[in-house]
Amino acid sequence: MTLTKLLQSQGFGTRRECRELVLSGRVMVAGEVVTDAETEVAPEALKFSVNGQDWLYRVNAYVMLNKPAGYECSQKPKHYPSVLSLLPVQLRNRGLQTVGRLDEDTTGLLLLTDDGQFLHVYTSPKKNIAKVYRATVKHPLTDAQLTALCAGVVLHDDPEPVIAQSAIARDAHTLELTLTGGKYHQVKRMVAAVGNRVEALHRERMGEFGLPAALAPGEWCYVEPTSAS
């Protein structure tokens, strides 16, 4: 692969822009400035730098974001900025998509990727990917509510009951809810259906990925899915 093509695949702009980056001496490979845009490079695990910033070649990008409140999971947001605005332009250029969605006011773990297969697996209801939410609820949780969430509740627009994999009261107002489905506003609607109300919602885990305590709201990091994903 030529260096220009590699840069283009990693989101550094159009072919012309990537060529220009190389010709102007802003790209280094293995610690050396390369100014021939047609230089052949082996992309696998290639480390390179652009304008002094280090990058690693990635066939696909998998990103975990600690989503803050006040951002929409949409390419074309209506009322708030897009979560994509929290990522560097190189990642935005790669066409990352959110793996499912969180509401504007929901915080926590959000995955983004440009790997269509991964996206499909992680969003398919058939794959039963577990998502763990922490919901702060208005009224003290009751055993009846926890039991009902796991037995299945019927939502307004859907006759099929939706079932939580588990519902645990961490304290009187903190519900840990594990779901495998991903219906619109599912947590808020399920909690409302058992007579309570979500006042704050945070996702802690999705499949094999847990939100690291060190990842502050608005921060992101690369993740590597296991081959089983």
Handedness of CA 87, 90, 93, 95 (dihedral sign): negative
Kindly state the smallest distance separating residue 188's Cβ from ligand URA, in Å. Answer: 4
How far apart are alpha carbons 194 and 196 in whole angstroms? 6
DSSP 2: B
How far apart are alpha carbons 23 and 2 in whole angstroms? 13
Please identify which residue in 27, 187, 206, 211 interacts with ligand URA, judged by CB under 6 A: 187
For the question of residue 103 being annotated catalytic, the response is yes
Kindly state the smallest distance separating residue 4's Cβ from ligand URA, in Å. Answer: 40
Q: Contacts with ligand URA: how many residues (CB under 6 A)? A: 8
103: contact with ligand URA by CB under 6 A: yes
Please identify which residue in 21, 96, 102, 119 interacts with ligand URA, judged by CB under 6 A: 102
Kindly state the smallest distance separating residue 147's Cβ from ligand URA, in Å. Answer: 20
- Write the DSSP assignment of 116-133 as a string of letters: HHHHHHHH-GGG---EEE
Cα–Cα–Cα angle for 140, 141, 147, rounded to 5 degrees: 165
Please identify which residue in 21, 137, 201, 211 interacts with ligand URA, judged by CB under 6 A: 201
Kindly state the smallest distance separating residue 204's Cβ from ligand URA, in Å. Answer: 12
Q: Which amino acid is at 22?
A: V
142: region left, alpha or beta (phi > 0 left; psi from -120 to 50 alpha): beta
Per the residue annotation, which of 103, 114, 115, 158 is the catalytic one? 103
Please identify which residue in 67, 134, 188, 202 interacts with ligand URA, judged by CB under 6 A: 188
Q: Which residue has the tokens 């058939």?
A: 126
Enumerate binding residues for ligand URA (CB under 6 A). Answer: 102-103, 106, 185-188, 201
Active site residues: 103
